[in-house]
Amino acid sequence: MQSTAADQVESIISNRLHVEESGFDDETVITGEKLDAESLDIVEIAEAIDGELGVYLTVDDIEEMQTVGDLKSFVASELEGN
């Protein structure tokens, strides 16, 4: 079974922030209480997405994203454009 980009983004977030994938959903705020991602965490997530999915995120892109769903949507739209 091949994983989707959304699944891969969730896995990256889970691995980088040491949170079970069942512990967050698309509405979860990345820097909110559940995930509590700090600046370095966000950079590491962006680097992992670039490395695993080939989607480069700029600092501006990252700052515009509030939720896990925003991040997944951005990655999906970038992959569709390629």
How does pLDDT run across 47-77, given as a tens digit for each residue? 999 999 999 998 788 878 999 999 999 999 9
Tokens 């967050």 correspond to 24
Q: How far apart are CA 39 and CA 55, in angstroms?
A: 19
Whats the size of the chain, residue-wise? 82
**47 Cβ contact list (under 8 Å, min separation 6):** none
* pLDDT at residue 82, as a whole number: 61
How does pLDDT run across 2-30, given as a tens digit for each residue? 579 999 999 999 999 999 999 999 999 99
